[in-house]
Structure 1
Amino acid sequence: MLIKLIQPKMYRRPMDTDIKLHMAPPLGLLTIVNLVRKEHQVQLENENIQQIHYDDTPDIVGISVTVDTLPRAIEISRHFREKGCIVVAGGIHITTAYDTIPENVFDVLCIGAAEGTWPQIIKDFQENNLKPVYRCQKALEGNQIVSPAYDFLKKGEYLYCHVVHTSRGCPFRCDFCYNSAKAHQYVNRNIEDVLADIKAVRSRHIMFIDDNFAGNPKWTKQFLKEIMPLHLKWRAAVSINTAFDEEMLDLMKESGCQSLFIGFESINPESVRGVHKVQNHTQEYEKAIRAIHEKGIMINASFVFGLDGDSPETFRTTLDWIVKNKIETVTSHILTPYPGTALYDRMKAEGRILTEDLSLYNTAHVVYQPKGMTKQELYQGYLWIYKQIYSLKNIIRRCPESKSVRASYFTFNFLYRKYGKFTDKLCRALSYEKIGSIAERIAKSI
């Protein structure tokens, strides 16, 4: 049987180049590859890096769907269904908001983990007993999580192929996050399985792509002790409460942590409270930053603009705070109420949702009515703060005190952000993987 797995193309945000599209491979689809390839022929087509081929007739087409790619996924589905192929739609948006999916655009909806759905989908297909909806009926145990098929990658097409996940989900339930939906669980993998994946990617530079790498501190501390002999250089996303666990920070530093992605979201206490981000206490932000910087670890701070406590002045005060605290890199978003989340339900009830065009739900468009500013003020402020953060003046002003991380800091700020278009041209000429490797060597050696 031929199974084709497809990642629809995402829409770039204004500050992104094609580097964003080539950043990392789709681990979810690679997990399905490992689930089915022993008994079936498998193809994987990532529309971010290649065209989709419609000249074949797979038995099953599996499409991974995020909220903003749903319209494109429906177009892809139509092409294959017209040829008689069975189309299975899964992924984070299907799991979170399956009840919002239009009727008769896919043959099958796959809700929850692939490990708990795909084996039954294939069995029922072969027995001509396919159902319209499949759910992962119970929470996975750590040893049930299947590793991605890293050997299936077209490595030259990705900036980072050495991406590894240690868990699924997040223990927190912030209103604007997919994890606020009941369908999502949090579970750590077996440490032995993660170590095997690190070996499989064949690199000492690892990007852990968990929603919350330190969501279970006991597990994370044991894992960090296990990877110390590997002499890795790694990055991960954590919640800010990690900064107040000195033992954790020491273990992170000793095991090779280079930077941590942290969702600060806002420096305004009212804004944070409004989305139930209970782990964030704005009065402790600067203490947390100092604790992380003292370990020589960089911070990639994520901010969400347009929260109900925000005003047009929020952009200037946030910029000044970022520069003052020498935050190394910043990721900015416009608040986006994803269908299926607590935030969407609340805004829908308040009549604040302005469009149901889901292709605009990529954190770069204003799709709801803000409270403290106009739509235009929110969008222009979002563009303004990005340009200001990565201006030459503010890159210099944010230069880290720790000399050991300055090479990495300037590599990211100049090659990825400020001069990303030039870097993307180099990637096209030499391959994304090669440029990613060169950037890592530069950051390590300077």
Structure 2
Amino acid sequence: MGTLKKVLLVFIPTRSGVDGARSIYAEREQSLPARMLARPLRTLIRKSPFSIPPLSLMILASIRVEGVEQTICDLRLELFPDHVEWDLIGISVQTGTASEAFELADRLRSQGTLVALGGPHVTMFPEASARHADLIVEGEADDLWRRVLTDLRQGTLGKTYRQEERPDLSLPRPVFKEHLDAGRYFTTNLIQTSRGCPHNCDFCNVHVLNGHRLRQRPIEEIVGEVARFREHDGRIFFFVDDSINADPDYAEELFRRLTTLRITWFGQATTALGMQQSLLETFARSGCSALLVGIESVEPASRKAHHKNQSRSDELVQSVRNIRSAGISLYGSFIYGLDGDTLETPAAILDFINQTELDVPGINILRPTPGTQLFLRLREEGRLLFDPDDPAAFRYTFGQEMLYRPKQIPLDRFIESYGELTSRIFTVPASLKRAISAPSAKTAVGIFNLFYTHLYSLSRHDLKRQAGQFHQKNHFAIR
């Protein structure tokens, strides 16, 4: 048997949001009262392990090839291990981290280390990414990475590994967690039951990357994986599917089977769940404590403009109320700045939050992610505020940067109205009130609301600074 090949899988953090160091740790000049308020919030945030492991790297690290040893490096939580010699370093590239990923790859290659790049950004922009790598992996890497590891072992590495067919999720694909330091994370119990999305929201890249057809894992395999994970980590489970209720019959059978395991779980769903009464009851019985739902917009014109058709506008309020009445807390995600939005939209969002008593609101600025129909359309219309051919410009931060020109709202008024909206929603008293009234997961609801109170404060600060730069560049001129 030859020398053991050592492979490092690297996850790079985003600049802001839950993973971003600036949002959590940075200090800036503030008044004394503001500093007194910010200090305990930062302490609470530091002590709250928000991070979850990168599932994509967990999946790749679970691929076993004789003579190859894999290690995960999560740069959110540890320094890069420069002291170790690696036979291959694989870097997962998200659009918002492309610049940092390419810089790291270039540095490693200059030192003689082989670098593989993969992930969503590489799949969307293979030619640009290949300039920074010895090899690239295009598409879902489950089967491709086994080929890479085998070729590494045999000394026959290629330059491009391209997905010809999407992975067959009906085949056994066990995920192992021995590569993780469990104490670093909120939980290590990440479960994916399916990939793909049948919907066509133009701002989303899930159906672009994973296809429209829903590919599902065998229910028996998932039940076994949950039972195995629970033996090693008794904390909460997170089902990472983009819409855990996309196939109601499949979901109902799965969570009916999981009820006997007595787990507590979070997940992501569409608001249609509020009208799927039988499935909603099964979720509640199986231990569902909280869900993230993409409300996105309360404006019918915006939902139509961006093909958000999987739930009806006139059912949104009742759907949210039904889910909360089942004992499930809700993180409701909104996008402000869609093409049907006006300066009246913030009041409508605030009214919706108050009507539904939403537990954790999230107010996001529209992000034109490269590869989506939205990105292509905004580029065609000349509404992007960055160079679409420069990966360093893809700074997809958490509501801290304007990347495009809204259709119906002047840019300066949009920035003002976004700041006004978030300052009304995210306050310490409101955070505590939401935690008390949450139907479940009260501590998590409180922590997230306090976290967002701090985060949106930074967001308003950064947007004001960017507005000043726009004035200098005359971006506010009427077009």
Provide the TM-score with structure 2 as the length reference.
0.80
**Deviations 1:146-185 (CA, angstroms, capped at 9, x unpaired):** 3332122111211222222222232222111112426536
Residues 1:8 and 2:8 aligned together: no
Superposed, which structure 2 residues align to 1:113-262 within 5 Å?
113-144=140-171, 146-181=173-208, 184=211, 186-202=214-230, 203=234, 205-262=236-293
- Superposed displacement of residue 248, structure 1: 0.6
> 2:467 maps to what in 1?
none
Q: Is the 8 A contact 1:25 1:161 kept in 2?
A: yes
- Write the letter of the residue equivalent to 2:379: K
Gaps of 5+ in 2: 26-44, 455-479
> 1:293 maps to what in 2?
324
- Superposed displacement of residue 204, structure 1: 5.5
Relative to 1, partners in 2 of residues 1:355 and 1:298: Cα closer, same or farther, differing over 3 Å? same
CA distance in 1, matches of 2:434, 2:350: 11
Q: Is the 8 A contact 2:49 2:186 kept in 1?
A: no
Superposed, which structure 2 residues align to 1:299-310 within 5 Å?
299-310=330-341
> 1:360 maps to what in 2?
395
> 2:74 maps to what in 1?
46
**SS of equivalent residue, structure 1 residue 101:** helix
- Superposed displacement of residue 381, structure 1: 3.6
- Write the letter of the residue equivalent to 1:11: R
Q: Is the 8 A contact 1:9 1:72 kept in 2?
A: no
CA distance in 1, matches of 2:421, 2:174: 39
CA distance in 1, matches of 2:154, 2:435: 62
- Superposed displacement of residue 21, structure 1: 8.1
Greater RCO, CA 8 A, separation 6+: 1
Q: Is the 8 A contact 1:116 1:135 kept in 2?
A: no
Superposed, which structure 2 residues align to 1:39-78 within 5 Å?
39-78=67-106
Relative to 1, partners in 2 of residues 1:139 and 1:419: Cα closer, same or farther, differing over 3 Å? closer
- Write the letter of the residue equivalent to 1:322: I
Q: Which moved more, 1:413-422 or 1:277-286?
A: 413-422
> 1:425 maps to what in 2?
none
Relative to 1, partners in 2 of residues 1:144 and 1:396: Cα closer, same or farther, differing over 3 Å? same
**Deviations 1:36-87 (CA, angstroms, capped at 9, x unpaired):** 4653122211110011122333111111111101111001101211122221
**SS of equivalent residue, structure 1 residue 75:** helix
**SS of equivalent residue, structure 1 residue 181:** helix
1:278 to 298, 304, 309: 309
Q: Is the 8 A contact 1:54 1:80 kept in 2?
A: no
How many aligned positions are there?
417
Residues 1:414 and 2:446 aligned together: yes
> 1:369 maps to what in 2?
405
Q: Is the 8 A contact 1:334 1:379 kept in 2?
A: no
> 2:459 maps to what in 1?
none
CA distance in 1, matches of 2:172, 2:101: 26
Q: Is the 8 A contact 2:126 2:136 kept in 1?
A: no
**SS of equivalent residue, structure 1 residue 291:** helix
Q: Is the 8 A contact 1:69 1:358 kept in 2?
A: no
- Superposed displacement of residue 332, structure 1: 2.1
- Identity in percent: 25
**SS of equivalent residue, structure 2 residue 306:** coil
Relative to 1, partners in 2 of residues 1:129 and 1:331: Cα closer, same or farther, differing over 3 Å? same
- Write the letter of the residue equivalent to 1:17: I
Residues 1:311 and 2:342 aligned together: yes
**Deviations 1:86-138 (CA, angstroms, capped at 9, x unpaired):** 2111122223x134634511222212222221122223334444333212221
Provide the TM-score with structure 1 as the length reference.
0.86
CA distance in 2, matches of 1:182, 1:26: 17
Q: Is the 8 A contact 1:167 1:210 kept in 2?
A: yes
> 1:263 maps to what in 2?
294
Q: Which moved more, 1:276-285 or 1:154-163?
A: 154-163
Relative to 1, partners in 2 of residues 1:138 and 1:276: Cα closer, same or farther, differing over 3 Å? same
Q: Is the 8 A contact 1:211 1:238 kept in 2?
A: yes
> 1:394 maps to what in 2?
430
CA distance in 1, matches of 2:259, 2:149: 41
CA distance in 2, matches of 1:83, 1:36: 28
Residues 1:85 and 2:113 aligned together: yes
Q: Is the 8 A contact 1:17 1:420 kept in 2?
A: no
Relative to 1, partners in 2 of residues 1:103 and 1:204: Cα closer, same or farther, differing over 3 Å? closer
> 1:440 maps to what in 2?
none
- Write the letter of the residue equivalent to 1:360: R
> 1:17 maps to what in 2?
24
